[in-house]
Amino acid sequence: MTAVPGSITDGRALVDEAMRACVDRLDPANRRVIAYHLGWTDADGRPADAGGKALRPALAMLSGRAAGAPPENALPGAVAVEFVHAFSLLHDDIMDGDRTRRHRPAAWTVFGAAAAILAGDALLALSEELLLEQHTRGAHWAAEALTAATQRLISGQALDMGFETRADVTLDECLTMASDKTGALLACASSIGAMLGEAPAELVTALTGYGTEMGLAFQLVDDLLGIWGSPETTGKPVLSDLRARKKSLPVVAALTAGTAESARLAELYAAPGDPAEADLREMAELVEAAGGRAWAEAEADRRVALAAKHVGDVEMDDAVRAEFRDIALFVTARDH
Amino acid sequence: MTAVPGSITDGRALVDEAMRACVDRLDPANRRVIAYHLGWTDADGRPADAGGKALRPALAMLSGRAAGAPPENALPGAVAVEFVHAFSLLHDDIMDGDRTRRHRPAAWTVFGAAAAILAGDALLALSEELLLEQHTRGAHWAAEALTAATQRLISGQALDMGFETRADVTLDECLTMASDKTGALLACASSIGAMLGEAPAELVTALTGYGTEMGLAFQLVDDLLGIWGSPETTGKPVLSDLRARKKSLPVVAALTAGTAESARLAELYAAPGDPAEADLREMAELVEAAGGRAWAEAEADRRVALAAKHVGDVEMDDAVRAEFRDIALFVTARDH
């Protein structure tokens, strides 16, 4: 298993403390749902330790270092991107009817959809509040970028929901969806610390480019794991994306490859009712035989290289540059 | 029927045009839900004319005039407050299970809860985007105030949802809830144009005070109409708030009055199942007999007077001041 880079674990305590202080401002009802959703408590409100890897805050903090700013300066950005991420997961789970999140019951199954909708709204508003209460030019820049990223995240989710009832999704549309739903917020996370540090536009642009490519690579790997990943690491049942007939990137690449396997896969995807276990195994084989797996693996590698090039082409501390590259390699490693 | 003040109808076309241009930026799926929700289209996407009275944009435009700023300057604020209002109605209808909104099926019953959740998210993000793309000190101020108002609106809804399962709601809690859920956004609407115009803090504070008091008065009257209003004007069935056993202001005033009628009302509110028609009529009579109706009417009048005092105490054009007062009288008139 690829080791977790230090930059993901280092600032974790600082970000965690700032997140808790922010959530403490909310009313008790929303606080309860959010503490559970973020993994801080169990369903009964008892302390727990079930949080995610906090990739976005780590990128935000690192981008502050790239701009030469002190850690406190990037902190509101780190918290804000994680809150937007948490908001989107809270609402997506309701919209998609997903009952499990990180090996635990999704928040809406514990507290009800109404409470989960409202808690998501509170997180979204809080993320903006955090940035805007800093009265600097950099904070305005960061808030504007975060709102634009949120809007893309939302339109990506709209596109994704539309895919469910369509048999003619193109690979371009699927890439746009992934770029909106996953890439935009990772691009914002990778540059928000630099914006808060009022870095030159050139650095912010390079970091945004890094995050965009890394985000696509991350989604490609996530989609590969959604088919071939082990339930222990994904937290979802085996072959779960195929079970839900999700139009993920490797699947759409296979569906649009024009092979005999593409046609058979399309047939299985269009069949009514829940797929049988044998059908699920056949679907996975068809995605591979139609070239969907190999394409996704190669495309992920290509995007990681592009991400590395973005941080390679701009002036920053060499240690910071290396950490950006380590993170891209880590989150796209296919051995976890 | 009290005549609609000119300030509510005057800027309507300008705001409407700006709102449509903003919604046009969104993806087609969210656009469709929002156009329906805002009353621009019917369920099949055909043009319709079913919008609300756009009170919040009118207040925003008027507050721009109070600051002596040109109308274009207040426009993003007018659109932003209306989008936050529309977002909250979209999500509240899902959370509260309300199937009707302004005499039409609520958006979630037409497009599904998932689409309505996402469209609400898009409106909330859009409201911030609109303000932040103005790179002025006033826009930052406005965005910060709008986010704070949104956060209060959300905690008011959380409090309101909590009331449903509680028999011990105090009048103070009920006033806090109304102040958060209705007052905060009206206070922001009444001052956002002045913030965008970078008016003196004194004017913004006075207008916020006006909106706070007017918002409470508005909610008191809305609660009175929720019991005694005619279905033609409220767009809801007769006695609908009592049918839903809503803990509205006149009801809580009656429940906490310590009279024999209070006790009987509490009994009917605690009874299981849907109330019979005779029970509904008895509930309405009990609210009145326990003094809830008279208290709410007097409290609304008192708040309107306080609102008028806020705009009376600060320097602004006399015509603008008169329009603020007209709006407060109009929205709290009990003959419509």
The ipTM is 0.95
- Of the candidates B151, B218, B211, B156, which has an alpha carbon nearest to the alpha carbon of residue B187? B211
d(CA B159, CA B176): 9
> Is B117 close to A135, i.e. CB distance below 8 A?
no
Q: Which residue range is the domain that position A248 belongs to?
A: 6-331
Residue B1 falls within a domain, yes or no?
no
A158 touches chain B (CB under 8 A): yes
CA dihedral defined by A315, A319, A322, A323, rounded to 10 degrees? -110
Residue A253 falls within a domain, yes or no?
yes
Task: Classify A47 as helix, strand or coil.
Answer: strand
> Is B132 close to A147, i.e. CB distance below 8 A?
yes
> Cβ contacts (< 8 Å) between A192 and chain B: which residues?
none
Task: Report the gap between the CA of B118 and the closest CA in chain A (Å).
Answer: 7
For residue A105, the surrounding DSSP H or E stretch is: strand A104-105
Residue A134 falls within a domain, yes or no?
yes
Question: Do B334 and B297 form a contact (C-beta atoms < 8 A)?
Answer: yes
> pLDDT grade, residue A194 (50/70/90)?
very high
State pLDDT tens for residues A214-242: 999 999 999 999 999 888 877 777 788 89
B149 touches chain A (CB under 8 A): no
Task: Report the gap between the CA of A6 and the closest CA in chain B (Å).
Answer: 33
> Is A122 close to B29, i.e. CB distance below 8 A?
no
d(CA B336, CA B328): 14
Q: Going residue by residue through chain B (336 aa), what tens digit of pLDDT does each one get?
A: 567 787 777 788 899 999 999 999 999 999 999 999 999 999 999 999 888 889 999 999 999 999 999 999 999 999 999 999 999 999 999 999 999 898 899 999 999 999 999 999 999 999 999 999 999 999 999 999 999 999 999 999 999 999 988 989 999 999 999 999 999 999 999 999 999 999 999 999 999 999 999 999 999 999 999 999 888 877 777 788 899 899 999 999 999 999 999 999 999 999 988 999 999 999 999 999 999 999 999 999 999 999 999 999 899 999 999 999 999 999 998 765
Residue A317 falls within a domain, yes or no?
yes
Average pLDDT over residues A118-133: 97
Residue B311 falls within a domain, yes or no?
yes
* A51 has a pLDDT exceeding 90: no
Task: Report the gap between the CA of B167 and the closest CA in chain A (Å).
Answer: 17
Q: What angle do CA B138, B141, B143 make, to 5 degrees?
A: 110
> Is A27 close to B159, i.e. CB distance below 8 A?
yes
* Token pair of B234 as six digits: 């409220």
Average pLDDT over residues A148-152: 98
CATH number at residue A166: 1.10.600.10
**Which residue of chain A comes nearest to B141, CA vs CA?**
A132
B161 touches chain A (CB under 8 A): yes
Residue B259 falls within a domain, yes or no?
yes
Residue A336 falls within a domain, yes or no?
no
Task: Report the gap between the CA of B285 and the closest CA in chain A (Å).
Answer: 32
A144 touches chain B (CB under 8 A): yes
Residue A1 falls within a domain, yes or no?
no
Please give the tally of structural domains in chain B.
1
For A129, residues 6+ apart whose C-beta sits below 8 A from its C-beta are: B144, B147, B148, B151
DSSP A65-94: HHTT--HHHHHHHHHHHHHHHHHHHHHHHH
> Cβ contacts (< 8 Å) between B162 and chain A: which residues?
29
> Is A125 close to B154, i.e. CB distance below 8 A?
yes
Question: Do B82 and B52 form a contact (C-beta atoms < 8 A)?
Answer: no
B117 touches chain A (CB under 8 A): yes
At position A43, the amino acid (one-letter code) is A
